[in-house]
Amino acid sequence: MEHLKPTEKELRGQRVVIDGVAVSDPITRRIYDLISHQLVELGIGDEGWSKLYRDPGDGRYWELTYPESEYHGGGPPMLTQVSDALAAQKYGIS
């Protein structure tokens, strides 16, 4: 599993269709691997779609969202590094 690099600020999955079937691209697979095995879930946004995670390796906060929500299942995921201030404001993290 590839850990998040200090220089990474955003990972954005892409919608890929092969032979009429939507499949996960490598970035989408990496995002799901990170949230399943590396990052620690801290909270869910009031709207129910976003989640806040923390990287135990460096303490950075990461927000999981689905910016192409018009697609079935919310579309591909996006993992974005967020500030301590946003984590506190949106998720109540102190």
58-65: average pLDDT: 97
Residue 61 and residue 93 in contact, taking contact as beta carbons nearer than 8 Å:
yes
Residue at 2 is within a domain? no
Domain annotation covers residue 30: yes
With respect to residue 3, please indicate whether it lies within any of the assigned structural domains.
no
The pTM of the full predicted model, rounded to 2 decimals, is 0.88
Largest CA distance in the chain: 47
Beta-strand relationship, 51-54 and 21-24: unpaired
For the segment 64-83, the average pLDDT, to the nearest whole number, is: 84
R_g over Cα of the chain:
14
Within-domain flag for 1:
no
Q: What is the pLDDT of residue 61?
A: 98
Domain-embedded: residue 77: yes
Range of the domain at 76: 10-91
- In terms of phi and psi (left: phi > 0; alpha: psi -120 to 50; beta: otherwise), the region of 66 is beta
Query: Would 4 be classed as within a structural domain?
Result: no
Residue 16 resides in a domain = yes
Please tell me the total number of residues recorded for the chain in this structure. 94
Domains in the chain, number: 1
Residues of the chain with pLDDT > 70, as a percent, come to 94
